[in-house]
Amino acid sequence: MAETDASEVETTLSQEPGALLQYWRQLRKDPLGLTGLALVLIMVGSALFAPWIVPYDPNQILVGPKLEGPSWAHWMGTDQLGRDLFSRVIMGGRIALQVALASLLAALTAGLLLGLIAGFGPRWLDNGLLLLFDAVRSFPVIIFALALVTLLGPSLYTVIFVVAITAVPIYARIVRTQTLAIRSNEYIMAERSMGAGTGRILGMHILPNVIGPLLILASMDVPLVITLEAGLSFLGMGVRPPTPSWGTILNDGYSYIRNSAWPVVFGGIPIIATTLGFTFLGEALRDIFDPKLRRDL
Amino acid sequence: MSADDGNVLEVRDLSLDFGSARGRVHALRHVNLTVPRGRIVGLVGESGSGKSTLAVATIGLLAGNAEVVGGEILFEGRDVLKMSERELRAIRGRRASMIFQDPMTALNPVRSIATQMTDIQYRDGISDREKRRRAVEMLSRVGIPDPENRIEAFPHQFSGGMRQRICIAMALLAEPALLLADEPTTALDATLEVQIIGLLRRLQEEIGCSILFVSHHLGTVAELCDDVVVMYAGEVIERGSVGDVFHNPAHPYTHALIECDPGRIKEKTRQLPTIPGEVPDSIHVPAGCVFRDRCPRAFERCAREWPPEYVANEDRQHYASCHLLDRDGEAGQ
Amino acid sequence: MSTLLEVRDLRVRFRSMGPLRALMRRVEDPFIDAVCGVSFDIREGETLGLVGESGSGKSTIARAINGLLPIHSGSVRFRGDEMAGLSRAQYARFRREMALMFQDPAGSLSPRMTVRSLIVEPFKIHGYRDRNLDAEASRLLKLVGLGDDFAGRFPHQLSGGQARRVGLARALALDPKLILADEPTAGLDVSVQGEALNLLARIQDELGVAILIITHNLNVVRHITDRMAIMYLGRFVEQGRTDDIFRWPHHPYTEALLSASPEPDPDAARERIEIKGEVPSLMNRPRACEFHTRCPYVQEKCRNVAPQWSQVGEGHGYTCHFPLNLARADGDAGGR
């Protein structure tokens, strides 16, 4: 086709000087991405500084009206036990982020390792690992989660474990495909011709190409994990009371929805905001780092 | 059909831009081109010269970010740029058809040759049996052995050379007035290239169509074509008959390009001629002549004034865009 | 000059189907010979051209010599030391002395590395920690005619010709004795092709390095090589001094290849030997003389008896029952 085609081929994640600045300039032009960034920053900031933000102890049962609407004393009102809802929502965000970070980090590490082995290792190992990935993935996530909760008992760690286990095959598969694609490039052959060993090739040439897209993908999975945690907690299978979690707030609010709709509203808004924030940001980052994906998909 | 002065295709003063992140790419600038009826015209240039862009523009196939800045493209006397998408579709595949560099991607890999070749005749009001008969006949004309049986095969069951023959057969089924060939032999080995060139020549004589043959290879053009159009950095810098242009190149770039071709140099040498310098940026096009930075004969006027097309040989329709040909004006030494 | 590389009866095979399928279909030998009984020498500082069409096995030879593909049988000696059958670790020392240049100049450069880190990569791989890498990078860039300002660029910021130069700089890093150059002009425009070849010639004059050039372009071979070999279906069909082969090709395939290269002259005599059909599949080699299916001069004997390697003059040989130009070569051995 046209040789002077205007579609500039942009290389992904190049470490040119000032590259970060360039990414920021691109992000600035994307209003949805900026919104996402703002939402994510608010979420992360409030989770980090939660102990200093919250006006009350989230578990403290206050003397005063229960299921009260928003007021100056209680910005989001109180719940059925009279606890300050604002404090519980903020602390719930902390829990949500902890679960997301811990589980995704575990899933990323394991997925990366297994994916590299599958993509670069011998054929039989690849086939074996693929079979394993598909087996795990064939369980519906929620059923799998319920089964594990029944086995291990409901707790924060169970939630993290469930999320990690279900996410590993997804990440591993992506890493494997990427590894296979990169491995067939001529520059990998060139490295081998110069005498580079497997470790050097994996670490210096394949990993940097794989990790960028993977991190973006993981950032888009954060809301999934948060809703899964909320879902499990809502079902009473996740975080145990009285620990505040968005799921438990929703669950409690749901029981008293005839008395007051505020707990459900204030418990739901952060979930929606976080989901949108991470999704917008993730998509914006993907567009910046991997313009090819934007056009083809 | 309207009057068309014996030319199937005539491009007049065409300029075309692409929008890009870095700015406007002036891909084609004041381009002139004529394809007379029944002639084979070679369009040569190095990568980035805009030859493929020009070739696909002639049947109105433009990328989404392309914008025609000026000029006209007359196909059989009618301006392609003013046609509706419907009118264009009526031309493509019937009056003008195209073959590409990569014969694998030009064929649908999951459908048999028979289906693909009968499908493209959907506009002809003839029976399926007749369509198939014509397809088989065309396959045998392009040299596919045992076409009655082979027509049922799928593209991947043919070798690269055979696939290109099939593409040619498909393109010629409608007996077009113009065949656009975009580097059809570049991906092929030398012995196959020779076969395809011979085939194109023979079929052109039989069918009587015109061919616009895009290539970066001077030797192939010299061998196949009647006329040649030389492009450099988005401009047509010389055009004329193959004999005139190759024997008496009027533009210093054409001259240098022919000098460079190692196929011309028979004596063994360890120091091959080259064209020093680089092709100018087509976003910030320099004023004056595009070739002047690399031109051994550039003089003061070349930097100041853009060279229009001068006549290099009145009787033989040989033109070149170089101030050296301006007999009336100031000339360099 | 002493012999640098000595290849004898080299054979490289690829698996054509999985072991299970082979067992089910009762195929005893589920392999194809990509390179089949090839022998040649490269002397120090000499240039040898391997010419052939796609699938002829020419790139396979280079990769097998470099240890990227296993040698099935035969012998490959580098300065007298056998390389066939070595382990990867044992191979390392040969890799310092020969460098492979790849066909796709940009594709063989890792896209996230700067030019500087690309060309000092060989030092890092082979553990030369004592070298001043900045000085080495600067020296190598200068050697291939690039300025120091290129050091910070990324591969996508290079033109085809510049990427080719970077590839050559990297190949020259460890001061090799042999460069294996796979299609050194592929994808380059004619005006730049000459530049790439002139650079190779200059490097060879300056450093005295031997070069094995793999190409389908005879024009490349004519100007830069001392000797050449023509490949067909993984075998040599003719080998000899470049000048001799261009003047008196003995094998019909050589003659066809030579005549298939069009000249930029519309009046050039078109005494073209157009050979029929296409290269047969390696899975389905023709019997006897493997070229007989396409040969314009085929005779009955060619279909039944495989021709042996025949030697004429010094280092010039071919496999053909009815060679061309034989009389002329004999009668005019000293040149025209």
ipTM above 0.85, yes or no: no
The reported pTM is 0.81
pLDDT of residue A211: 84
Question: Which residue on chain A is closest to C108 by alpha carbon?
Answer: A187
pLDDT of residue B256: 93
Say how far apart CA B108 and CA B172 lie, in whole Å: 18
Say how far apart CA C210 and CA B26 lie, in whole Å: 45
> Given an 8 Å threshold on Cβ–Cβ distance, is C112 in contact with A13?
yes
Give C-chain residues touching A3 at CB under 8 angstroms. Answer: none
Give A-chain residues touching C107 at CB under 8 angstroms. Answer: 185-187
> Given an 8 Å threshold on Cβ–Cβ distance, is B52 in contact with A3?
yes
pLDDT of residue C21: 82
Q: Of A230, A238, A246, nearest to A154 (Cα)? A: A238
pLDDT of residue B72: 93
pLDDT of residue B302: 92
Quote the percentage of chain B above a pLDDT of 90: 55
pLDDT of residue C15: 85
> Given an 8 Å threshold on Cβ–Cβ distance, is C190 in contact with B161?
no
pLDDT of residue C329: 57
Amino acid at residue number B300: E
pLDDT of residue B75: 93
Say how far apart CA B200 and CA B206 lie, in whole Å: 10
Structure tokens that stand for B49 in this block:
């010269």
Residue the block writes with tokens 């009955």: C300
Does the CB of A9 have a partner CB in chain B at under 8 Å? no
Residue A11 has pLDDT above 50, yes or no: no
Average pLDDT of every residue of chain B: 89
Full DSSP string of C83-112: -TT--HHHHHHHHHHEEEE-SSTTTTS-TT
Question: Which residue on chain A is closest to C120 by alpha carbon?
Answer: A194
Instruction: Give the max Cα distance, chain A.
Output: 76
From the list C103, C107, C121, the residue facing A194 with the nearest CB is C121
Say how far apart CA C247 and CA C237 lie, in whole Å: 16
pLDDT of residue A291: 52
Determine the 3-state secondary structure of C230 from DSSP. Answer: strand
Chain A interface, best mutation among B44, B53, B61, B67, by max A CB count within 10 A: B53
Structure tokens that stand for A128 in this block:
């074996």
Does the CB of A11 have a partner CB in chain B at under 8 Å? no
Which ranges in chain A belong to alpha helices (H)? 19-28, 31-48, 50-53, 85-120, 123-137, 141-152, 156-183, 186-194, 198-200, 207-234, 246-255, 262-289, 291-296
Q: How far is A6 from chain B (nearest CA, A)?
A: 5
From the list B161, B242, B269, the residue facing C223 with the nearest CB is B269
Neighbouring chains of B at 3+ CB pairs under 8 Å are A, C
User: C238 pairs with which residues across the strands?
Assistant: C230, C318
Average pLDDT of every residue of chain A: 79
Alpha-carbon dihedral sign for residues C57, C62, C65, C67: negative
> Given an 8 Å threshold on Cβ–Cβ distance, is B282 in contact with A8?
no
Chain B interface, best mutation among C265, C267, C272, C284, by max B CB count within 10 A: C265
Say how far apart CA C102 and CA C171 lie, in whole Å: 10
> Given an 8 Å threshold on Cβ–Cβ distance, is A2 in contact with B56?
yes
Determine the 3-state secondary structure of A157 from DSSP. Answer: helix
Say how far apart CA B227 and CA B234 lie, in whole Å: 19
Give B-chain residues touching C216 at CB under 8 angstroms. Answer: 189-190
Does the CB of A205 have a partner CB in chain C at under 8 Å? yes
Confidence band, pLDDT 50/70/90 cuts, at residue A3: very low
DSSP state at residue C309: P
Question: Which residue on chain C is closest to B263 by alpha carbon?
Answer: C263
Residues 186-245 (C) with a CB less than 8 A from some CB of B: 189-195, 197-198, 201, 205, 216, 218-220, 222-224, 242-243
Mean pLDDT of each 10-residue bin along chain C, 336 residues long: 90 85 82 92 94 89 91 92 85 88 86 89 87 91 91 86 92 93 87 88 93 90 92 94 92 90 74 79 88 92 93 88 75 41
Structure tokens that stand for C204 in this block:
């060879």
Task: Give yes or no for a contact between A56 and A71, defined as CB atoms under 8 angstroms apart.
Answer: no
Say how far apart CA A185 and CA A166 lie, in whole Å: 31
Give C-chain residues touching A195 at CB under 8 angstroms. Answer: 91-92, 95-96, 122, 125-126
Give C-chain residues touching A192 at CB under 8 angstroms. Answer: 68
Enumerate residue ranges in chain B where pLDDT < 50: 1-3, 332-333
Q: Each residue of A214-251: pLDDT tens digit?
A: 888 888 888 888 888 878 877 777 777 777 878 778 77
pLDDT of residue B333: 41
Say how far apart CA B199 and CA A57 lie, in whole Å: 87
Give C-chain residues touching B195 at CB under 8 angstroms. Answer: 274
Confidence band, pLDDT 50/70/90 cuts, at residue A12: very low
Residue A272 has pLDDT above 60, yes or no: yes
User: C15 pairs with which residues across the strands?
Assistant: C31
Give A-chain residues touching B66 at CB under 8 angstroms. Answer: 2
Q: How far is C263 from chain B (nearest CA, A)?
A: 4
Task: Give yes or no for a contact between B51 and B74, defined as CB atoms under 8 angstroms apart.
Answer: no
Distances in Å between the Cα of A18 and the Cα atoms of A25, A290, B135 are 11, 18, 59
pLDDT of residue B249: 94
Query: Long-range contacts of range B146-154, CB-CB < 8 Å, 24 or more positions apart?
Result: B150/B113, B151/B112, B151/B113, B151/B114, B151/B117, B152/B112, B152/B113, B152/B114, B153/B112, B153/B113, B154/B109, B154/B110, B154/B111, B154/B112, B154/B113
DSSP state at residue C192: H
pLDDT of residue A101: 87
pLDDT of residue A44: 87
Q: Counting every residue, how long is chain B?
A: 333
Say how far apart CA B202 and CA B199 lie, in whole Å: 5
Question: Which residue on chain C is closest to A187 by alpha carbon?
Answer: C108
Chain B interface, best mutation among A3, A4, A26, by max B CB count within 10 A: A4
Structure tokens that stand for A246 in this block:
């968005």
Give B-chain residues touching A8 at CB under 8 angstroms. Answer: 20-22
> Given an 8 Å threshold on Cβ–Cβ distance, is C95 in contact with A193?
yes
C293: CB partners within 8 A, 6+ apart: C276, C277, C280, C286
Give C-chain residues touching B166 at CB under 8 angstroms. Answer: none
pLDDT of residue C332: 47
Q: Name the more confident of A1 and A145.
A: A145
Task: Give yes or no for a contact between B120 and B170, defined as CB atoms under 8 angstroms apart.
Answer: yes
